[in-house]
Amino acid sequence: MDKVVATALEAVADVPDGASLAVGGFGLSGVPNVLIGALYERGVAGLSVVSNNCGAMESGLAVLLAAGRIARVTGSYIGANKEFARQYLAGELEVELIPQGTLAERLRAGGAGIPAFYTPAGVGTQVADGGLPWRYDGEGGVALASPPKEVREFDGTEYVLERGIRTDFALVRAAKGDRHGNLVFNKSSRNFNPLAAMAGRVTVAEVEELVEPGEIDPDAVHLPGIFVQRVLALTPEQAADKKIEQRTVRS
């Protein structure tokens, strides 16, 4: 039951080239930076990443993206990541953009063993009808577009069929975790981390505070250890290393 591993490199040692990864985080909050850094150090490439966004400010997945290690991104938000936009428009990167709530539910559904579900989000748009640019040809044209999806009517309202997402691995960051893999997330880092963890066949969690089993009130557990295979305890320096994407202050 003790799922703690000694180092980040050990935690991701079996992630191969071409693997699919669900990666937690919301903006720069709750991003598993240490595990991502270990993947970078190992030189893993050709990754298919599922995440709300792809990092920024040379942080998070932006580290792997800038190194050309990511082949495909499934997410909701490009944001201020100029390198992400450049690679996408240049045809170097395949990108599937998904409405944010749909992405969250696709991850949750995959983790819950639900193969697909119907949602009204995207009906009447290219999300349902197909034609969203997944890959550009580098000259302004579309090399690969999204296919149409099944649309069905329920009680007079149309819904589009969306598939649940399962990935080979998941990387997440928690504020607190025990040796059995039970996790607690802090504020907005809870938005996608539990869902990403559920979607991974092998889930690795880096935790800012490692506690012994029983020290977390069962009612306070945000993600039960059944979804987590490995736990990495961060050093105080690693736990404190957090960036702010847009710093707003008052004089």
Give per-residue pLDDT as tens, 184-212.
999 999 999 999 999 999 999 999 999 99
Structural domain contains residue 130: no
Residue in 27, 28, 35 with CA at minimum distance from that of residue 11? 35
User: How many other C-beta atoms are found inside a 10 Å radius of the C-beta of residue 13?
Assistant: 11
Could you tell me if residue 39 is inside a domain? yes
pLDDT, average across residues 48-77: 92
If one counts the domains in the chain, the total is 1
In a domain, 186, yes or no: yes
The residue written with tokens 């991850």 in the block is 107
- Residue 109 confidence (pLDDT) above 90: yes
148 belongs to a structural domain: no
In a domain, 102, yes or no: yes
Closest CA to 128 of 141, 101, 147: 147
Bridge partners, 5 (sequence order): 232
Q: How far is CA 112 from the centre of its chain?
A: 16
**Cβ distance 223 to 182 under 8 Å?**
yes
Identify the domain containing residue 71 by its residue range. Answer: 4-115+164-240
Higher local confidence (pLDDT), 40 or 58: 40
Euclidean distance between CA atoms 207 and 188, whole angstroms: 16
pLDDT the model gives residue 46: 98
- Residue 232: give its domain's CATH number: 3.40.1080.10
pLDDT at 58 (0 to 100)? 80
Dihedral, CA of residue 20, residue 236, residue 182 and residue 170, to nearest 10: 0
In a domain, 233, yes or no: yes
Q: Are 194 and 161 in contact (CB under 8 A)?
A: no
Q: What are phi and psi of 8, to 5 degrees?
A: -65, -35
Quote the CA–CA distance of 106 and 202 in Å, as a whole number: 17
Lowest mean pLDDT segment, chosen from 55-64, 103-112, 219-228: 55-64
Judge whether residue 28 has pLDDT over 80.
Answer: yes
Q: What is the pLDDT of residue 97?
A: 95
Give the pTM.
Answer: 0.93
For the chain, helix, strand, coil in percent to 5 are 25, 30, 45
In a domain, 51, yes or no: yes
User: Tens digit of pLDDT for each residue in 122-175?
Assistant: 999 999 999 999 999 999 899 999 999 999 999 999 999 999 999 999 999 999
Averaged pLDDT score across all residues of the chain: 95
Spatial contact of 2 and 182, defined as CB atoms under 8 Å apart: no
Question: Is there a domain that residue 139 lies in?
Answer: no
Query: How many CA atoms lie within 13 Å of 177's alpha carbon, on the beta-carbon side?
Result: 33
